């Protein structure tokens, strides 16, 4: 049953990636601007002749018809070759892999903060409904949803780098440089997770099997942690998969604010420079990563809850 489920999801993955490749290729080529001219537009004295620009365009294969360029991109991608960056002149896959570690560390750090802060606050809020911690979890959710990520990042830098010089405001060396960017990413998701945990736990706590657990005289810790929280966290797990996508998107902003190298900054500069192969490669890679993470989360949920893999309503 699980194998069938997996096969269906993998087929969907292929279709999603194909559609993403078409979309990103079309959008990039519909946008105004010529990569060669852009590459030279900020050059210091405008010395490069139009003839030389044309030669560079030809050498980079930018004069080929669009279907040819798309075919080249797709066939390359199918064999793991995402092409060569127009501006950086390096294989796109190498550039992605170079920066993947930094972005993954940031995203996982963000997830860690989101889970620790979100689940802890959510549980406390559920157990103490109407208390100040419940109010705090609501405030956290509102703040997380409404506060722009760059602003949150700047506030954290102001407080914990400039006023209290505990963490570096920029860079990627050592674990200390990871704390503030991860915290800013995590805080955005923590509020959502806190509210979801609270709601889910409240629902579970009135289920019959919890009453049965109380009736058996089980200690509080066992009832809350083993029976209630374990079941309450299933929707949170699904939410985490979705939040991973938000983390990747948030990395674009966070990496810029905290001057960290990563896929986010790489894709921003690639878009600005109209570096077709690099944008296409990164978007495709990130889409694949997002889909795969969600697939893993679904599989985990299916493994934890037989009702999901059997197609029954959870």
Partner 1 sequence: MSPPVPARTIALSLSVLVGCGSPDNRGEADDELIIAWPASREPASLDGHIEPYQTAWLIDYMIADPLLIIGPDGEFHPALATAWSSNEVADEWTFVLRSGVVFQDGTPFDAAAVRYNVERILDPATRSGEMAAHVGPVERVEVVDDTTVTLHYAAPWVTVLDAFRRVPIWSPAAAEQWGIEEFDRHLVGAGPFLLEEWVPNDHVTVRRWDGYGGWNSIAREAGPARVERVTIRFIGEEAVLGNVVRTGNAHIAMNLPTAYIDDYRDAEGFSLLTGYQAGTGLQMVMNVRRPPFSDLRVRRALLYGTDQQAINDLLYDGHFLVSDGPLNTVHRCYREGSADTYPHEPETARRLLEEAGYTDRDGDGIREAYGVPGVDDGTPLRVRWTILDREEMGEAIQAQWRPLGIDVAIEIVPGPVQLEMVNARDFDLIYERQRSPDPMLMDMLWNSAHDVVGGWAWTGFVDEELDGMVSRLREIPDQEMRCELAREAQRIIMENALMLPTLSEPIFYAVSDEVLGFELASEGQFYFVHNVELPRTH
176 binds partner 1, rule: CB under 8 A: yes
Answer whether 136's CB lies under 8 Å from 143's CB: no
Residue of 55, 63, 209, 219 that binds partner 1 (CB under 8 A): 55
Q: How far is the CB of 115 from partner 1 (least distance, A)?
A: 15
CA distances from 169 to 103, 161, 248, 249, 313 (A): 17, 5, 20, 21, 47
Q: How far is the CB of 172 from partner 1 (least distance, A)?
A: 5
The full length of the chain comes to: 314
127 binds partner 1, rule: CB under 8 A: yes
CB atoms within 10 A of CB 102: 22
166 binds partner 1, rule: CB under 8 A: yes
Interaction residues for partner 1, span 32-51 (CB under 8 A): 32-34, 37-50
282 binds partner 1, rule: CB under 8 A: no
Site residue total, partner 1 (CB under 8 A): 68
Residue of 195, 198, 227, 274 that binds partner 1 (CB under 8 A): 274
Residue 104's Cβ-count burial label (10 Å; 0-12, 13-18, 19+) is: middle
Q: How far is the CB of 120 from partner 1 (least distance, A)?
A: 7
29 binds partner 1, rule: CB under 8 A: no
Interaction residues for partner 1, span 243-262 (CB under 8 A): 255-262
CB atoms within 10 A of CB 267: 25
124 binds partner 1, rule: CB under 8 A: yes
Q: The tokens of 232 are what? A: 């309450």
135 binds partner 1, rule: CB under 8 A: no
Interaction residues for partner 1, span 62-101 (CB under 8 A): 87-90, 98-99
d(CA 309, CA 298): 9
Q: The tokens of 228 are what? A: 């209630």
Q: How far is the CB of 93 from partner 1 (least distance, A)?
A: 14
171 binds partner 1, rule: CB under 8 A: yes
Q: Locate all alpha helices (DSSP H) within the chain, ordered by sequence.
A: 2-30, 35-41, 50-59, 66-78, 92-127, 132-146, 149-157, 176-205, 208-215, 220-221, 230-257, 263-272, 276-304, 306-309
Residue of 109, 168, 181, 250 that binds partner 1 (CB under 8 A): 168
Nearer of residues 255 and 298 to partner 1, judged by Cβ: 255
Answer whether 98's CB lies under 8 Å from 173's CB: no
CB atoms within 10 A of CB 140: 22
220 binds partner 1, rule: CB under 8 A: no
Q: What residues line the site for partner 1 (CB under 8 A)?
A: 31-34, 37-50, 52-56, 59, 87-90, 98-99, 120, 124, 127-128, 131-133, 150, 153-154, 157, 161-162, 164-172, 176, 179, 255-262, 265-266, 269, 272-274
């Amino acid at each position: 049953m699980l194998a069938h489920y997996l096969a269906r999801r993998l087929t969907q993955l292929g279709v999603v990636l194909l559609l993403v490749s078409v979309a990103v290729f079309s959008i990039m080529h519909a946008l105004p601007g010529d990569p060669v001219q852009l590459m030279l537009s900020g050059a210091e004295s405008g010395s490069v002749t139009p003839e030389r620009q044309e030669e560079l365009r030809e050498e980079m294969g930018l004069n080929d018809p669009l279907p040819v360029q798309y075919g080249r991109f797709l066939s390359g991608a199918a064999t793991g070759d995402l092409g060569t960056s127009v501006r950086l002149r390096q294989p796109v896959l190498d550039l992605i892999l170079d920066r993947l570690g930094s972005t993954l560390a940031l995203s996982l750090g963000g997830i860690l903060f989101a889970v620790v802060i979100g689940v802890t606050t959510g549980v406390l809020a559920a157990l103490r409904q109407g208390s100040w911690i419940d109010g705090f979890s609501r405030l956290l959710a509102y703040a997380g949803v409404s506060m722009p990520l760059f602003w949150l990042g700047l506030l954290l830098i102001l407080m914990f780098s400039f006023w209290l010089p505990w963490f570096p405001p920029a860079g990627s060396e050592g674990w200390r440089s990871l704390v503030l960017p991860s915290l800013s990413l995590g805080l955005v998701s923590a509020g959502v997770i806190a509210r979801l945990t609270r709601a889910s736990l409240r629902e579970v706590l009135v289920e019959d099997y919890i009453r049965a657990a109380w009736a058996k005289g089980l200690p509080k810790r066992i009832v809350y942690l083993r029976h209630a929280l374990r079941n309450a966290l299933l929707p949170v797990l699904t939410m985490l998969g979705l939040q991973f996508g938000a983390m990747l998107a948030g990395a674009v902003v966070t990496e810029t604010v905290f001057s960290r190298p990563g896929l986010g900054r790489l894709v921003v500069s690639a878009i600005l420079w109209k570096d077709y192969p690099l944008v296409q490669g990164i978007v495709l890679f990130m889409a694949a990563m997002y889909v795969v993470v969600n697939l893993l989360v679904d599989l985990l949920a299916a493994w934890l809850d037989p009702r999901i893999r059997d197609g029954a309503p959870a």
